[in-house]
Amino acid sequence: MLQRSYDRVTQSLFDRAQSLGIETGIDRLGRQEPQCGFGQLGSCCRMCYMGPCRIDPFGEGAQTGVCGATVDTIVCRNLLREEVGGAASHVGHARHVVLTFKKMLEGKAPGYHITDRGKLLEIADRLGIERDGRSDEDIASEVVERALEDFTRQDGGMLNWLRLHAPEKAIEKWQRLGIVVSNAHNEIEEAMHRTSMGNDADPVNLLLAALKIGLVDGYAGLHMATDFQDIMFGTPQVRKIEASPAVLEKNMVNIAMHGHNPLLSEKILEWAGRLEEDAKKEGAEGINVVGVCCTGNELTMRHNVPMAAHNLQSELIMLTGAVDAMVVDIQCIWPGSEKVAECFHTKVITTEPFVKIPGAMHIDFEPENADERAEKIVREAIDAFTKRKDKEVFIPEGKATGLVGFSVEAILDVLKRINPEDPLMPVIDNIKSGNIFGAVGFAGCPSIKMRHTNMTEIMVKEMLKNNILVVTTGCTAHICAQAGLMNTDATELYCGEGLKSVLHALGDAAGLGAPLPPVWHMGSCVDNSRIATLLGALADRLGVDISELPVAGSAPELVQEKAVSIGTWLLALGLMVHIAPHPRIMGSPVAVKVLTEGLKDLTGGYAFVELDPLKAAEGIVQHIKDRRKALGI
Ligand code: BF8
Ligand code: SF4
């Protein structure tokens, strides 16, 4: 096994795997090393069967593929295809939620309801939908129609969800560049078409297409998913939670919800409540639903469900022997998890017809039969519990507590208590005074290749020390919660004096009797939409473009294609986006130049690649200083 030292809880689970002789990701990573250099540079091509071709980075061997494609063409085509993978995942997620909402309105999905009517009506108004004399259902049907238009329109008109959410100044920028998008599916088709053998060979043209796919992801993926999820399940409000694999309970039926889509996890949570007595009849003290990865974020933001594990820990928590069912839907599910589960009584249950894992139990989960299937899944978990109740479990110690639920609406609620007429004013005043020196969004994944460096925690603490507020989503939110960065003690421990005073004032306004935490959990990866909404509102209020704000984004432990497409969206919006490890563009001088430099003149955004946490933090602080100077503050 690779000798690395992870945080105490994670390490204890790796150690347990080793002592039981169970293979995990660390063993598999060890066998992959050294990983292919061509792959890491992005300079191998498999687009046709004259290849695979690869380009010699030292300039001695082949400098083009068999067809004559240069390294710039190859790298940029590969990048665009990575993004298509990411955007397709988010767009597929959003469309699934919209279609379920439609079925609900048609009476075909009785398990679902409108929870946040206010948000529905607000979106209807902003879409220009007539409301007078119409029922909520009728209005909602038209909102659905507008959403589905974003997958059907053929006239080249602007994506409705982009018009709905993108700041005017950003739209103008994108129009000048010719990258405004129209129909999410058509854009994805075109990106696949242009990257297949013998099409687009112009690296700059390919990079512009990459920005387009970023916009598809941001609006037809992230924003659309967040909007409909909030309408169906409620817009998150601030609440207290616990985090770490230690939230598993020896004497309860433990159901780990893993994946992304609250359509499933909300129903499982509901049925866990309904079947509590059945679990007790089997000798359990109750049913403990815990969250893994992004569906865990969805559950914790709306219902205080404990945050059990980020992606790297998703297979590790089964080594506790205490997970009775690991219920999964879509995205980020390691096939190797099933092999770990087989060593225990744990049932891995897949639920999506296009996401199956050999050896796992499969229960199709359709919106029409949501209640029946959710009940069946919870009963499977209870049944698994009966098989392990007397067996030894190993649940590590060390729960962290924190506050989550920082939707834009929840943040504005707090700010309105300070200034009801102009809630953003206190933030702007504090930005001007330097009490809030800037803000950084930390998003994305935990990488098994980097987690032992504590990249995320070190960078976040550096931000706080420099009075930079941190917002976070995705698995990075799990990392921050487990590191205790989402509780009020962290404000005292890590923040500079200016930021501390602001968080105290906000905590008082919120009636907490304590400061707000310095790291705000804004949700799952699709909820990066919330961060963009907040930035858009701030930029509008200041009358500037988002690219002028003293803010940045960071994906400090990039894993997924989805993080690449989100990152590109943020570049299109005009943000500095820090990335580690190296994105697979380093083989192409053109891609590196355009993404780290050239883009500054086009959108204002740029990529910043740095693997050393302190240097990365320094680079971000410098960027924020430069932005402040340009604003004259
Ligand atoms: O969408 S942060 S490992 S779970 S990709 Fe996946 Fe990365 Fe986690 Fe959420 Ni996002
Ligand atoms: Fe090689 Fe060109 Fe085929 Fe790619 S498209 S595999 S570079 S011949």
Quick: pLDDT tens for 288-304.
999 999 999 999 999 99
Number of other residues whose CB lies within 10 A of the CB of residue 564: 26
Q: From 38, 49, 50, 195, give the residue whose CB has the most ligand 2 atoms within 8 Å, as the site to mutate.
A: 50
Sorted by sequence, the CB contacts under 8 Å of residue 205 that are 6+ apart come out as none
CA of 44 to the centre of ligand 2 (A): 9
Domains and CATH numbers, the chain: 25-69 (no CATH), 74-233 (1.20.1270.30), 245-386 (3.40.50.2030), 401-631 (3.40.50.2030)
Nearest ligand to the C-alpha atom of residue 451: 1
CA–CA separation, 256 vs 303, rounded Å? 15
pLDDT at 508 over 80: yes
Helix/strand/coil (H/E/C) assignment for every residue in 243-291: ECHHHCCCCCEEEEEECCCHHHHHHHHHHHHHCHHHHHHCCCCCEEEEE
389 has a pLDDT exceeding 80: no
Q: What mean pLDDT is predicted for residues 306-334?
A: 98
What pLDDT does 615 receive?
98
**Comparing C-alpha atoms, which of 562, 527, 443 is closest to residue 86?**
562
pLDDT more than 70, % of the chain:
100
If one residue of 44, 53, 75, 77 were mutated to test the ligand 2 pocket, choosing by the most ligand atoms within 8 A of its CB, it would be 53
CA of 313 to the centre of ligand 1 (A): 12
Give the residue from 15, 245, 10, 13 showing the smallest Cα distance to 1.
15
Q: How confident is the model at residue 1 (pLDDT cuts 50, 70, 90)?
A: low
- Is residue 251 predicted with pLDDT exceeding 80? yes
- Assign 350 to helix, strand or coil: strand
Ligand 1 neighbour 92 (Cβ under 6 A)? no
DSSP string, 125-179: HHTT---TT--HHHHHHHHHHHHHHTTT--S-PPPHHHHHHS-HHHHHHHHHHT-
**CB atoms < 10 A from the CB of 333, how many?**
25
Ligand nearest to the CA of 46: 2
The arithmetic mean of pLDDT across residues 121-139, rounded, is 97
Ligand nearest to the CA of 48: 2
pLDDT, position 352 = 97
pLDDT recorded at residue 265: 98
From the list 50, 340, 20, the residue with the least C-alpha distance to 198 is 50
Contact 232, 296 (CB under 8 A): no
CA distances from 208 to 174, 433, 593 (A): 10, 38, 14
For the Cβ of 525 lying below 6 angstroms from any atom of ligand 1, the answer is: yes
- Angle between helix 224-233 and 71-105 (nearest 10): 30
Query: Given pLDDT bands bounded at 50, 70 and 90, which one contains residue 234?
Result: very high
Say if residues 313 and 337 touch (Cβ distance below 8 Å): no
Residues composing the chain: 633
Q: Nearest residue CA, atom 6 of ligand 1?
A: 332
pLDDT above 90 for 602: yes
Return d(Cα 430, Cα 445) in angstroms, integer: 31
- Mean pLDDT estimate for the chain: 97
pLDDT in tens, 414-424: 999 999 999 99
The span from the CA of 54 to the CA of 313, in Å, is: 34
Ligand 1 mutation target, pool 217, 293, 521, most atoms within 8 A of CB: 293
Query: Could you give the CA distance from residue 17 to residue 21 in angstroms, rounded to a whole number?
Result: 6
pLDDT digits (tens, 9 = 90+) for 578-601: 999 999 999 999 999 999 999 999
Q: Is 65 in the pocket of ligand 2 (CB under 6 A)?
A: yes
Taking 80 as the threshold, does the pLDDT of residue 22 lie above it?
Answer: yes
How deeply is 271 buried, as exposed, middle or buried, from its count of CB atoms within 10 A (0-12, 13-18, 19+)? buried
pLDDT (tens digit, 9 = 90+) per residue, 262-298?
999 999 999 999 999 999 999 999 999 999 999 999 9
Q: Which residues fall within 8 angstroms of residue 456, CB to CB, at 6 or more apart?
A: 442, 446, 476, 479, 480, 483, 556, 557
Residue 62 Cβ < 6 Å to ligand 2? no
pLDDT tier, 4 (very low <50, low <70, confident <90, very high otherwise): confident
Q: Is the CB of 89 under 6 A from ligand 1?
A: no
Ligand 1: nearest atom to the Cα of 559? 7
Cβ–ligand 1 contact at 311 (below 6 Å):
yes
**pLDDT confidence of residue 390:** 76
Structure tokens at 291: 């969250």
The pLDDT of residue 5 is: 85
Q: How high is the pLDDT of residue 214?
A: 98
**Omega of the bond leading into 34 within 30 degrees of 0 (cis):** yes
Tens digit of each residue's pLDDT (9 = 90 or more) over 464-473: 999 999 999 9
List, in order, residues 6 or more apart from 445 with CB less than 8 Å away. 310, 311, 332, 474, 475, 476, 555, 557, 558, 559, 560, 563
Q: 76-95 burial, b for 16+ CB within 10 Å, e for fewer? A: bbbbbbbbbebbbbbbbbbb
Q: Which residue in this structure is represented by tokens 């909520």? A: 136
Query: Ligand 2 centre and the CA of 74: distance in Å?
Result: 8
Instruction: For ligand 2, say whether the CB of 63 is within 6 Å of any of its atoms.
Output: no
